[in-house]
Amino acid sequence: MSAAPILNPEPAPIVACTVSRDVSNFDLLIEDMESELGESWGDLSFDDALLFLSQPDAENLEFVAIAVDSEDENDLTRISGIITTAKEKGVRVILIAEEVSPIALHQLLRLGADGFVPYPLPEGALHEAIERLGHSNPAPAPQVPAHHAQAESPSFKATGGRDGVVLPVHGLAGGVGATTFAVNLAWELATIQDGNKKAKGTPPRVCLLDFDFQFGSASTYLDLPRREVVFELLSDTATMDGESFRQALLTFNEKLHVLTAPADMLPLDIVTGEDIDRIIDMARANFDFVVIDMPSTVVSWTEAVLNQAHVYFGMIELDMRSAQNALRLIRALKSESLPLEKMRYLLNRAPKFTDLTGKARVKRLAESLDISIDVLLSDGGRTITQANDHGLPLAVNAAKLPYRKDVLKLAQSIAELNRAAEAAQS
């Protein structure tokens, strides 16, 4: 708790307020507000909020944290009114939402909330949202590299006319290494040495889409900023055109085009299958390869991605957790008659060539799941995490690492297959 009031007889100026139907439903928010702001925040009901915002006292307010849950969905007009009034008064808005339908959330966010955090609040999430508002906070900010030397807006014109190969990567358990693989595969494809004379050495145009809207870390692994414009693109795909899509992309080292995850953590169901289809269609029309980093959770639009995929990479490790999740996924795909044949299984941190018992375990895993494990990726130890932390693909940072060679080989064979398919078509 904060300092005893007797030491602090002047009431602290109120710089922020929570606004909710009943703040006691949001215990964690109270705790976090206290630790962020001590005594200098207040609590308002929906009715009081409008009144307070129109009083001179409101001038000191830096932000309001509007907390809503599913019961408030009937009251959206009133809540929208509070958001608009706050914006008019120059007060920033952080939206805290618990089990609110995507449609309602969408509506509230579009009114111009400056930040969004799901409830229950993830550790540190309110702090980060406040930091992003530019609120001066005595606590030192975490060390995030501020410059993104390689980040540029793409220079190409989004004129369409291509028909890209869609390659989603889905970690079948958290942390198995899906994003690392997606990022490095995309980079290898974008920089492939083209042995084909006819192609005149132009490497394929590659786009990486980070569809892990919550914890997407492709931007971290390439040291690219997460930007607001991505949210704008996702929240209104119907009006997207080549130009707005291009503007939402960033370019890494002039070669790889990336749609990072949005700046704020968004619920995965903020988009529908239709939105996802539009984004993939746009990416396919402008790129030769579209690599997609998928969240490990299966969501309503996973099916849309699977349907658009040429090959769908499922990444696992050699453990029970991966095995059981793979089994569940395969069952789910079968029961919905989804295209199971597109799945290609990758085993990350695979046992070494010389590890015979390890190899026997891989064989048993494949047999018990009745799948073939197509690609084995070596364990790269700390080197991989360090490259990720530095925001560099392994080809740049540790080109000789066996893991990198595994990914390069796979990229080459994908590019080769694609050339063969194109040649057959023409």
Ligand X SMILES: Nc1ncnc2c1ncn2[C@@H]1O[C@H](COP(=O)(O)OP(=O)(O)OP(=O)(O)O)[C@@H](O)[C@H]1O
Residues that bind Mg ion (CB under 5 A): 178-179
**355-367 CB burial, b ≥16 within 10 A, e <16:** eeeeeeebeebee
State the nearest-atom distance from the C-beta of 321 to Mg ion, in Å.
Answer: 16
Q: DSSP state, 51? A: H
- For residue 160, report the phi and psi dihedrals to the nearest 5 degrees: 75, -160
Catalog residues that contact ligand X under the rule CB under 6 A: 171, 174-180, 212, 215, 217, 296, 348-349, 377, 379-381, 384-385, 388, 403
Q: Which is nearer to ligand X, 180 or 325 (CB)?
A: 180
| Location of structure tokens 């390069």 | 408
CB of 318 to Mg ion, least distance (A): 19
Which residue in this structure is represented by tokens 């966010």? 109
Give the closest residue to 46 by CA, choosing from 67, 70, 71: 67
* Contact of 96 with 26, CB cutoff 8 Å: yes
Q: 139-150 burial, b if ≥16 CB within 10 A, otherwise e?
A: eeeeeeeeeeeb
Residue nearest to Mg ion (CB): 179
CB of 179 to Mg ion, least distance (A): 3
Query: CB under 5 to 8 A by kind: which of ligand X, Mg ion, none does 333 bind?
Result: none
Residue 332 φ/ψ, nearest 5 degrees: -65, -45
**CB nearer Mg ion, residue 104 or residue 375:** 375
Contacts of 198 (CB under 8 A, 6+ apart): none
Q: To the nearest whole angstrom, how small is the minimum distance from the Cβ of residue 174 to Mg ion?
A: 8
Pick 92 or 344: Cβ nearer ligand X:
344
Secondary structure (3-state) at 290: strand
Minimum gap (Å) between residue 216 Cβ and Mg ion: 7
* Tokens 């969905």 belong to residue: 73
115 binds, among Mg ion, ligand X, none (CB under 5 to 8 A by kind): none
The distance of closest approach from Cβ of residue 169 to Mg ion in the complex, given in angstroms and rounded to an integer, is 9
176 vs 258, which CB is nearer to ligand X?
Answer: 176
Strands (E), 281-358: 289-294, 312-316, 343-350
| 174 versus 381: smaller Cβ distance to Mg ion | 174
Q: For residue 12, which phi and psi values (nearest 5 degrees)?
A: -65, 140
410 touches 375 (CB < 8 A): yes
Nearer to ligand X, 46 or 181 (CB): 181
Nearby residues of 24 by Cβ (< 8 Å), 6 or more positions away: 30
Q: Which does 380 bind (CB under 5 to 8 A by kind): Mg ion, ligand X, none?
A: ligand X
Nearest to 303, CA basis, from 325, 329, 283: 329
Q: CB under 5 to 8 A by kind: which of ligand X, Mg ion, none does 172 bind? A: none
In the complex with Mg ion, the residue whose CB is nearer, 92 or 170, is 170
78 vs 68: CA distance, rounded Å? 12
Sign of the Cα pseudo-torsion (6, 12, 16, 21, in order): positive
Do the beta carbons of residue 233 and residue 240 sit within 8 Å?
yes
Residues in the chain: 426
The binder of 176, among Mg ion, ligand X, none, by C-beta within 5 to 8 A per type, is ligand X
**Minimal distance, residue 137 CB to ligand X, in Å:** 27
- Cβ nearer to ligand X, comparing 21 with 405: 405
The binder of 403, among ligand X, Mg ion, none, by C-beta within 5 to 8 A per type, is: ligand X
Write the CB contacts of 136 (distance below 8 Å, at least 6 apart in sequence).
Answer: none
d(CA 86, CA 170): 40
Cβ proximity to ligand X, 303 vs 379, nearer residue = 379
Which partner in ligand X, Mg ion, none is near 204 (CB below 5 to 8 A by kind)?
Answer: none
Quick one: what does residue 180 bind among Mg ion, ligand X, none, with the CB cut-off 5 to 8 Å set by partner type?
ligand X
Minimum CB–partner distance for residue 177 and ligand X (Å): 3
Minimum distance from residue 212 beta carbon to Mg ion (Å): 5
Residue 68 binding target from Mg ion, ligand X, none, CB below 5 to 8 Å by type: none
| Residue 173: CB minimum distance to ligand X, A | 7
Nearest CB to ligand X, comparing residues 158 and 326: 326
